[in-house]
Amino acid sequence: MAKNNEVIKTPVWLNNPVVVQILGICSALAVTAKLKPAIVMGLSVTIITALSNVVISLLRKTIPNRIRIIVQLVVVAALVTIVSEILKAFAYDVSVQLSVYIGLIITNCILMGRLEAFAMQNTPWASLLDGIGNGLGYAMILIIVAFVRELFGSGALLGFQIIPQSWYVTNGGWYLNNGLMIMPPMALILVGCIIWVHRAKNEELQEK
Amino acid sequence: MAAKKFKCTICGYVHEGDQAPDKCPVCGAPKDAFEEIAEGVQAPAKKGLNTNSNVYTIIYAAVMVIIVAFLLVFVSSSLKERQNNNVIQDTKSQILASLNLAPADVASAYNDYIQMDWLMKEDGTLVKNENTFSTSYKSEFNAGRLHIFQADVDGATKYIIPMNGLGLWGAIWGYIALDADKSTVYGVYFSHASETPGLGGEIATEYFQKRFAGKTVVKDGQIVLNVTKYGTAKDASCQVDGVSGATITSKGVNSMISTVLESYKPFLLSK
């Protein structure tokens, strides 16, 4: 088995869940119009993937093979529900902001993918690292896409105006926000560009 | 079974063939990262329980469901009071937001500003709401209980009407604060359950809500306040530009305003 160090590094770059495994694309389209929700979503997925990986890894020897997907789903759904309930009670503002994404976390294919492919065969510690690594790999792509989309689509980053107001056509300047950037298709195009760069840098991933 | 199966230990890709591929087509791992999956060969008998038996599977599922159910019930019931309290505070802060107020201490600010929680009767007169503070004005509206909050901002009377409607993906709601003439918009607040961030989600931002201030709601006995497609507002006294790129959400805001305010007409038209 690969060393722990590699378990956490591989999914961030060489085996990135979004650009190599092509998992979690749907949420990458939905939450990357602005940088802030992208960061929050990336962190939430990292935490939930790591936790559910550990739980499934602890249970892996007892889970009946025929209902393993159901068991994984129940664990993920229960974890997400508990986290959401705790947020509602102790950090209501955050839970309001996250309301849309909580559901998206349960359906995120990265979670089920990692549980099935990794946590079912590996020790809790390695699974924890794998969960964190995959979560970070996912968060990294989300943040890159959201950075570009918010900067060129809204002229801002994290809500702070970056492109000077005086440049805008409405204020007598020459600049216009790119409306296509905040549309979902642009996220797909940007992910495509990232995959292109990523493949170009990693020759072993190129299909002959 | 002629073909053997090989599984990549890095990404879990399963290859079928006589031997492992030179390179994993999914993650690019080398050949030695593959291990053969024993197919058709019975796994060596384990000590203890047979985890593949029907009885074990059923008992496992039942126990799991019971544990998870109790866990969720416990978490939910032990946090319920705090959550309800948070929802009440949040509703109150939304009502205050329509008055362009964002106080740190919502509970005391609400008591300072909001003087009465009225219900409108069919003839437009107001009676006091005897029930406790509601947090769902959608069900109140559907039940025919039309709330009007009377607020006092620096000596001037304002009326706040809760609104509910549908956006593109889900519910949208808001509060509209009117001046004492029951026709001029003092401020609005909108929020939404699941509109797209950056598009429909923009209805919850201040710059969009600022566009409503000073608009006329009632003219010649009709509700005239409306939201148009971005850039097509002609009559600045009662038309508001929608959000660019979010036509359906803007239409939802428009129909929410007209539907709800239509029901409040007896009050709005009464002197």
Rounded CA-CA distance A54/A124 in Å is 5
List beta partners, residue B223.
Answer: B218
| CA-based end-to-end distance of chain A | 28
| Minimal C-alpha gap between B244 and chain A (Å) | 9
DSSP A76-130: HHHHHHHHHHHHHHH-HHHHHHHHHHHHHHHH-HHHHHHIIIIITTS-HHHHHHH
Q: Residue B48 is encoded by which pair of tokens?
A: 């203890």
Alpha-carbon distance A64 to nearest alpha carbon in chain B (angstroms): 5
CA distance A7 to chain B (A): 9
Q: Which of B57, B86, B194 sits opposite A64 (nearest CB)?
A: B57
Is residue A115 within 8 A of residue A124, CB to CB? The reply is: no
Distance of CA B33 to the CA centre of its chain: 46
Report the alpha-carbon distance of residue A63 to residue A57 in Å, rounded. 10
**Rounded to the nearest 5 degrees, what angle is found at the Cα of A43, between the Cα atoms of B69 and B70?**
10
Band of the pLDDT at A100, cuts 50, 70, 90? Answer: low
Choosing among B55, B82, B173, which should be mutated to test the A contact, i.e. which has the most A CBs within 10 A? B82
Contact between A184 and A30 (Cβ < 8 Å): yes
Q: What is the rounded CA–CA span in Å between residue B106 and residue B215?
A: 27
**Rounded Cα distance, B101 and A77, in Å:** 38
Each residue of A56-69: pLDDT tens digit? 999 988 888 888 88
ipTM score of the complex? 0.72
Bigger pLDDT: A89 vs B176: B176
Which residues in chain A have Cβ-Cβ distances shorter than 8 Å to B193?
99-100
Count of CB atoms within 10 A of residue B219's CB?
13
Helices (H), chain B: 54-97, 106-113, 137-142, 206-210, 247-263, 265-269
Whether residue A65 and residue B90 make contact (CB cut-off 8 A), yes or no, is no
C-beta separation of A142 from A25 below 8 A: no
Residue of B110, B128, B121 whose CA lies nearest to B146: B121
Helices (H), B98-231: 106-113, 137-142, 206-210
User: What amino acid occupies position B206?
Assistant: E
Q: B61, A70: Cβ pair inside 8 Å?
A: yes
Q: What local confidence, expressed as pLDDT, does residue A205 receive?
A: 77
Q: What is the pLDDT of residue B51?
A: 75
Parallel, antiparallel or unpaired: strands B226-228 and B239-241? parallel
Measured CA angle at A80 (ends A74, A83), to 5 deg: 135
Q: Would the CB atoms of A33 and B196 count as touching at under 8 Å?
A: yes
How confident is the model at residue A27, as a pLDDT? 77
On chain B, the residues whose CB falls within 8 A of the CB of A64 are: 51-52, 56-57, 60-61
Q: At what angle do helices A68-90 and B54-97 cross, to 10 degrees?
A: 30
Q: Do the Cβ atoms of B197 and A10 come within 8 Å?
A: no
- Residue B55: closest CA among A61, A57, A116, A66: A66
**With an 8 Å Cβ cutoff, are B11 and A30 in contact?**
no
Mean local confidence (pLDDT), A189-197: 90
H/E stretch holding A26: helix A25-30
Q: Is A47 exposed, middle or buried (0-12, 13-18, 19+ CB in 10 A)?
A: middle
CB atoms within 10 A of CB B198: 23
DSSP 3-state of A141: helix
B155 SS3 class = coil
**Which one-letter DSSP state was computed for residue B260?**
H
Nearest CA in chain A to B170: A100
> Within an 8 Å CB–CB cutoff, is residue A117 touching chain B?
yes
The full length of chain B comes to 271
Tens-digit pLDDT profile for chain B (271 aa)? 456 777 777 777 777 777 777 777 777 777 777 777 765 444 444 456 677 788 889 999 999 999 999 999 999 999 999 989 988 998 999 999 999 888 888 888 898 898 888 888 888 888 888 888 888 888 888 888 899 999 998 888 999 999 999 999 889 999 999 998 888 999 999 998 878 777 888 898 888 999 999 999 988 888 889 898 887 888 888 899 888 888 899 999 999 999 999 999 888 888 7
User: Taken in order A114, A120, A121, A125, is the CA torsion positive or negative?
Assistant: positive
pTM, two decimal places: 0.67
CA dist., res. B50 & res. A53, Å (int): 24
The DSSP output letter for B46 is P
Q: Given CA atoms A29, A32, A37, A40 in this order, what sign does their dihedral have?
A: positive
